Amino acid sequence: MSDKKNVPLSVLDLAPIPQGATARDAFHSSLALAQQAEKSGYNRYWLAEHHNMTGIASAATSVLIGYLAANTTTLRLGSGGVMLPNHSPLVIAEQFGTLESLYPGRIDLGLGRAPGSDQRTMMALRRHMGGHVDNFPSDVAEMIAWFDAEPDAQPAVQPVPGLGLKIPVWLLGSSLYSAQLSAQLGIPFAFASHFAPDMLFQALHIYRENFKPSARLEKPHAMVCVNVVAADSERDARYMFTSMQQQFINLRRGKPGPLPAPVENMDNLWSPSEQYGVQQALSMSIVGDLDKVRQGLASLIRETQADEIMVNGQIHNQQARLRSFELAMEAHNTL
């Protein structure tokens, strides 16, 4: 791996809705973070699709990307990811073709295979796939074919705009499936170790070993997503991190809700088994002051040989959230 400073840092934003706030507040907070990320040198800024989650405001992912793109000038914006089984590939190609036409050279399309919701919500999204056939590989291939079409191509069905726009397509995953498929298609791969760390190293190995160069990408490009909660003191960072820990407990109890306020002590809020489960899920988290975050990023880059790092941070207080991402970039710049 080249110099650590050459490994770009990017942002994953779930547009969290903290307790006591609204979706509108979340959108304004996301814009403030995106504008700060642009100024401080983050490479890209992705938003994740979730549905029926009262603590996450980024369900209409492409609409929110448009809002942030309109109010920034150079930052790459994209989906981390759009959950393709919820949608017609043509509609997504049209949406991202529209974004790319409005903001040329700044749009990424990250695709996931999970629904990002529960079974009833999937039905409400009107995606009845029928049987057990997995259309994901063919849907991804179809979208890439549209984006890579020659200027004189006239397929019977085409995204307008979208055809021939060469929009970067990434596959996202938390298992080995997308690692294999992105290697086969010769496109970049992002691993969601911020909530599902178990298969990280195996997935990276499979992706790199099986990568087939393509017109889109000559060699593997792997991005690793981690949680970073940074503050001016270790104690403050640990305190802020309790919001994410509580959120995961609530999710596992089947009671997702707004992002909880931080607490001084978690002991009375989780059982030993819940504590173990949450700590396992969030084990790829760097929590602490500037030095701790610097050490954590350096270790992560060394161990994973990642080509890019994406940072997630579910933080209740907006000023603390902005400061956390500021410190993460400061740590990165002093590696």
In terms of Cβ atoms closer than 10 Å to its own Cβ (0-12, 13-18, 19+), residue 36 is middle
- pLDDT of res. 2: 44
pLDDT at residue 129 is higher than 90: no
pLDDT one-digit tens code per residue, 230-270: 999 999 999 999 999 999 999 999 998 999 999 999 999 99
- pLDDT of res. 117: 58
pLDDT one-digit tens code per residue, 149-170: 998 998 999 999 999 999 999 9
pLDDT grade for 217, boundaries at 50, 70 and 90: very high
Query: Which of 17, 93, 97 is closest to 315 using CA atoms?
Result: 17
- pLDDT of res. 124: 74
pLDDT grade for 118, boundaries at 50, 70 and 90: low
pLDDT one-digit tens code per residue, 58-78: 999 999 999 999 999 999 999
Residue with tokens 């996301």: 30
Mean pLDDT of 87-108: 97
For 227, the token pair is 């949680």
Mean pLDDT of 197-212: 97
9-333: CATH superfamily? Luciferase-like domain (3.20.20.30)
- pLDDT of res. 133: 43
Phi-psi region of 46 (alpha: psi -120 to 50; beta: other; left: phi over 0): beta
Report the share of the chain in percent with pLDDT over 90: 87
- pLDDT of res. 132: 38
- pLDDT of res. 120: 74
SS3 annotation, the chain: CCCHHHCCEEEEECCECECCCCHHHHHHHHHHHHHHHHHHCCCEEEECCCCCCCCECCCCHHHHHHHHHHCCCCCEEEEEEEEHHHCCHHHHHHHHHHHHHHCCCCEEEEEECCCCCCHHHHHHCCCCCCCCCCCHHHHHHHHHHHHCCCCCCCCCCCCCCCCCCCCCEEEEECCCHHHHHHHHHCCCEEECCCCCCCCHHHHHHHHHHHCCCCCCCCCCCEEEEEEEEECCCHHHHHHHHHHHHHHHHHHHCCCCCCECCCCCCCCCCCCHHHHHHHHHHCCCEEEECHHHHHHHHHHHHHHHCCCEEEEECCCCCHHHHHHHHHHHHHHHHCC
